[in-house]
Structure 1
Amino acid sequence: MWNRPALAFFSLAFALTAHAAGPERVEARIATAADPAQQYALFVPKDAGANAPLLIVLDPRGRAVATRDFVIEAARARGWIVMSSWQSRSDTDEAVTLRALDALWKESARYPHDARRVYLAGMSGTAKTLWVVAPKLHVAGLLGSAGGRPPELPPLTRNAPAFQGFTGMSDFNHREMFALDAALAGVGTPHRLDVSPGGHGWPPVEAFADALAWFDLQAMRSGRMPRDAAFIEQRFSACTTAADAGFDALERWRLQAQCVRDFEGLRDVAALRTNVDALEKSSDVARLRSQDDKLAADERRYARRFDAWRERFGRRFVEGLEQPPLPLNESLRQLQIATLRKRAADADPRVAASAQRLLAWVHAAAAFYLPAQFDAKGDHNRAVALGDLAEATAPVDDAE
C-alpha cells in the first residue's frame, strides 16, 4: 500500500523573508511560488510575527478550506499560522502528498514564524506520511488522526517529535493508534492520544483547540516558548476535569495518567499521581483492562477471518475456469455480519465499539479498497459485487 519514494527532493532550507506584522489574513486558495500546481488555504493571525508557530495540514482528500477551518478559531486564539494543502491525498502514490508538502514547506518562508515550532497534521494515510518526513524535516510536533506509524519504518527513538494523536471509538484504525501511543511511551517522547465517540476521520473541532494548547505546553516545557503560569493552570484544570468525566474507570485512569505526563515539570502533579496509582490498582481497572485485552484478541482473530474471506472472494479461477463472485449471503455468513451488528448495539460501550470498528473496516474494504484492487486487475464483476457488502456493513457514522 505504501509507496516510499526518495525524499531527497525536500529542501530543508528555512530562510525567512522579512515581513512586517499586519492584519489577519484568511485566503481560500494560493498557488505556491516553487510549484504553481500546488495550492493551499491560508490563515495568518493578526500581528503574526517571527514567534508564531506554523501548522501545515495535509488532508487525505485535499479539502484545504474545510480542514483549515477545523482549526482556525484555535489558531486565532493561540496565534498560529495555518497552511492547508489542496493537493494532499491518501490511498494513492505517496509522492503526491510528498510533493504537496515540499511545496508548502518552501512556501512557508513567505510568512514570518518560529522555525523551531513547525508542526504537521494529517489524517488516515496522510497521518502515516508524517512519520516518513519527520526525521528529514525536524519538525517540533505531529498531529495524526486515525492513522498510525507505518511498521516498515525504523524503530522509534527518543528524539521522535511530540505527537498528538486522535482516534474515534469506532475508528477501524483505533488499535493501531493505541499501539503507537504505547510505542511513544516506551521511548519517552512527549505524546498524547485523545479519543472521541466517532469513527474514522478528523477529531471534533474543539479537539483541535486542545491540540494546539498541548503543543504550546510542550513548547513551554522545552523552552521554545515563555512559560505562562495562568495558562498552565487553566489547561491543568481542563485536563483533570475531562479525565474525571471518563466513561469508565479504565478511561479515567488513562486520562488522569495522561494529565500527569502532560504537566510533569510544569506544575506540581504529586496529588494527581497518587490518585492515578490508586486507580490503577483498583479492581474496576483490572477487570476493564482484562476485558479490553480480550476484545483486542477477538479483533486480531477477526482480522484473520477477514483475510481468509478475502482470499476466497478474490479467487477468480479454479482449475482454469472463471468463478462468479461469492454470493452476498455467503460473504455475510463468513464475515459474521449479523453477529457484529448485534454486538455493535451492546449496552457495554467497549463491546459495542469493538464490533463497530470491525464493521467499519469491512465497510471500508468493500466500499473502497478492494473494488479499486479488483478494477485494477480487470475483475469488474467482483468490484461490482462488493457494493452490496458495502451497503450491508455501512456504519452509522462514516466520517472520512
Structure 2
Amino acid sequence: MNPPHTARPAPADIPDFPEPRSARCPFDPSPEMRGLAAFGPVFRVRNWDGKTPWVVTSHAEQKALLSDSRLSVDFAAPDFPSPVAHHGGGEGEAGAYGEEAQGGDSHGATDLSFVGMDDPEHARLRRMVSGAFTIKRVEAMRPAVQEMVDGFIDRLLEGPKPVDLVQAFSLPIPSLVISELLGVPYDDHEFFQVNSKTLVSLTATSAERQAAHTGLAEYLDRLVGEKIHNPGEDLLSHLAGKVKIGELTRREAAVMGVLLLLGGHETTANMITLGTLLLLQHPEQAARVRETDDPKVVVDAVEELLRFLTIAHLGRRRTALEDIEIAGQTIRKGEGVIMLGELANRDPSVFPDPDRLDITRDARRHQAFGAGTHHCIGQPLARMELQVIYPALLRRIPTLQLATELDQVPFKYDAVIYGAHELHVTW
C-alpha cells in the first residue's frame, strides 16, 4: 500500500503546460513541472488551447491509470489533450514502434493506426504485428544488428572528423533495421526520415503534418500493393497477406506500416544520440559499459539511460470515459489526462536519488515504454539495438568525445520526441 501523499495547497492560478526543459540541465525534466509536482500527484494545467486537463506526476498513479480501461486514447474525443493544434497527437514512446506515438487529427487525416484506438479494435490490429517483436524473434536479429553497427563504425573511423553522429550513425542504423524488418527499401530512407521528422515536429503546421502523413501512407500503400502479388518474408508482406484474405483493408495495412516505420527509427535514433552524449558526460560510467564482459551490466545501463532520459517528454495523453477517483481528485468523464513519464521516472519513492545517473541501479520499473495495453510494442527491439550500440561505439572508439561544448548542442525542444538535431563528435 502506498503511503499517503502530502502536498502543498493548489496553486492560485492554473499553470501553463508544457514548460520546456532547461538549457542548463538539458537531460532533466522541466524545472517548472518538477516544482509543480509538489502540489500533489494529480493537478490541473492549462494546455496550449486553453483547456485544463489533469497532469499526473507520480509513478504509482501513472501506472494505475495507464492500465485503466476507463481512459481512452481516441484522438477524436472533444477534450483529448493534444500537444499541438488540430489533434497532432500524443507523445512518442522511448523506443521503436511507440504505442504512444500518437499523431492524428480529429478527422483521421494523419492517423497512426491502432495507437489512436481503444480495445477491442486496438487489440485486433496490434495482434497482427506483435509476433514480429517477441523477445525470441528480436534476439535472433542481434547478430545481424551487431554486424550493421560494426559496419557503420568502420565508416566512421575511415571518414573525416569531426562528424555529426546523428546523420552518420544514430539515424541510419535504426532506419536500416526497421527497413529490413518491414521490407521497405533502405534506399528510400531519406524520404521517410524527412517526413517522419515533420510528423513529430511541434512547429510544423497541421497542413504540413497531413502532407507528410499522406506521402508516407501513399508510399506504404504502393509497397503493400506490390507485396500482395509478390510477398516476401518481411512484416509488410505479412500484412499484405492479411489484406488478401480480407482481415485488413489495404489502407489499414499502409497506415500500420507508417506507424512501424515512424516508431522504428525516430525514437530509437534519439535514444542513441542522447544516451551516447549522457555517457560522455559521465566518463566513469561510460568506462564501465566499455570494459565489461557481463551482458547484465549493459542491460542495466540501457534501462537506467531509458529511465533517466525519458525522451517521450510531453506526456501520454488520454480522455476519461467515466469518472475516476485517484489521489484524492475526481477526474470527470470527458476530461483530458496527461501522464508525465519523465516525472514518474524521477519519482524518489521508486528510484532513490533519482537525479543521479547510476547504471548499476535496478531501473527496470521505469515507464519509458508506457504500461498497460498500450505499452510500446517494439520495446524488445529498441532494447536490443541499444544494448548492441552503446558498448560497440564506446569500445571501437574509446576516445570518443564531443567536438563542441555541451551548451552548443541543439536539443530538440521543438519536437514531441526529445533528442538532439546534431551531435558533432571526434576522437
- TM-score w.r.t. structure 2 length? 0.24
Q: More strand by proportion, 1 or 2?
A: 1
**Structure having the higher Rg:** 1
Instruction: Specify which structure has the bigger relative contact order, considering alpha-carbon pairs within 8 angstroms and separated by 6 or more residues.
Output: 2
